[in-house]
Structures are given as C-alpha cells and as structure tokens.
Amino acid sequence: MFDSQQLAFDSFLLGYKHGVYVFVSDSCDACVRYKQELEYINNCYLYIVDTPMVKQQAILEKLTGRSVFPQTVGYFDNQIKFARAGIEFEKQQSEIILPFLAQFPKEPLSEAEIEERIQKQKNRCLLTLYAFSTDIDDETRNKTVLKGASLNEFAIDISKVGVGLPDSERERLIEGQYHTARLVVYKHKDKPSQLGDFERSIVMGYASVNPEIQFIVRDLENE
C-alpha cells in the first residue's frame, strides 16, 4: 500500500472524493485487522482515512448514515456509490471493492483533471419540477420550461404529467422524485401564486418530504 493512500480526515472532507475510502478509528481493533487485510491492494484510488475524533466521526455518520467502524465507502465524482460498515472480507473485496476500483485509471487525477470534472458537475442539469400559477398562459409556460436548460435545469411542467390519469396516480408518478429533484413555483411579480389543486398537492408533498429544503419561488418578470 502506498503512503499516499493514507489520508487525514480533514483532507478527505475538503478534497475531491473519487475512489474507495476506508474509514478507521484508533480505538477499533477490527480497523487494525482490516487495514492489514487491504495492504495487498496497491491502487492509488484506495484510501485509508484516519477518523480519531468524535466530531469527525459524527460528520462521517451524517455523510454515510453509519456509525460503526471500519467503514468502506465508494465515491465517484464526489457522489457516494456504496457505503458499508464492518470488515469487507475476501469475498466482498473481490465482488465489491476490486471491481469498483477497476473503473479508475492507473494514475491519480491531476489538478487540471479535477477542476475539469468540477466544472462539468456544475453544468449538469438537475431534474426540476415547475409549478405554474394558474394565471400563467401555456405559451409562457412552454417558453419558461425551455429556458430551464440555461439554468442547468431539466424542467418538467408538473401540470402536464400524466394528463388523463386520476390525480392520485399523477402524484404517484412525481413523488418518487421528491428526494432528488428541485421544485420551483413560478408566479407573476407582485402577485401571490395561485396554484391549482394538483400543483398545490405536489408542493405540499414535496415540502413534507424535504422539510430542510425549501422550494424556490420565482417571478416570471425577473427571469
């Protein structure tokens, strides 16, 4: 195992996350055994991350939803692809860790490559649900949806989802996206939004699932 594969927790937290990260704690006997078992993997995208402080462990738990050590977490372009608690034995190493590492190049990413990937991520379009006030005409709605691409939004006018189906079925088509999609309510400037019953139900459902993430309200005239 390379020395560069040893990583301080703060370096992990502030850095670009791309590879397999094994989080260990000094007080964990299993962590010592696990590190020894992984020494044969000389891959520059496998990192051992020391996590000695309680505060660091709390941050990790928020990231992965797990508190047990050791933890093995796979990242690709800053996104978690898997998170597993406990020792990954030979079978799990051959079925999970090694195949995941096989998709990475032989050399670590350069600073220029990392910056290029960050910029690409910034330009990715996010699925965005548009809810329009009832006093906004169809032509304006269509133009606004098309303009969503310039805002890095893959926009969907929710009023056009599942037309002809019962509202309960239409809601079911959309509610699976609540955790990952952005929600934007469009209205006229200086006027309160006047949502239809279906759109209001979607907004309420989204708000109940994402209590810490508020939907966005935009005035058409400011776009």
Task: Concatenate the DSSP letters of all residues of 103-155 into one string.
Answer: TS-SSPPPHHHHHHHHHHHHTPPEEEEEEE-TTS-HHHHHHHHHHGGGGTEEE
The residues that bridge with 23 in the sheet, in sequence order, are: 49, 71
Provide the percentage of residues in the chain whose pLDDT is more than 90. 77
Please work out, in degrees rounded to the nearest 5, the angle formed at the alpha carbon of residue 210 by the alpha carbons of 223 and 195.
Answer: 50
Average pLDDT score over residue span 42-51: 94
pLDDT of residue 203: 93
Quickly count: other Cβ atoms within 10 Å of residue 180's Cβ: 8
Q: Which residues contact 33 (CB under 8 A, 6 or more apart)?
A: 87
* pLDDT over threshold 60, residue 1: no
Per-residue model confidence as pLDDT tens digits over 168-199:
999 999 999 998 899 999 999 988 889 999 99
Which domains are assigned to the chain? 3-117 (3.40.30.10), 125-222 (3.40.50)
Per-residue model confidence as pLDDT tens digits over 86-97:
999 999 999 999
Q: Name the more confident of 187 and 26.
A: 187
pTM > 0.75: no
Q: Report residue 51 CA to chain centroid gap.
A: 23
Selection from 38, 34, 30 nearest residue 5 by Cα: 38
What's the mean pLDDT when you consider all of the chain? 91
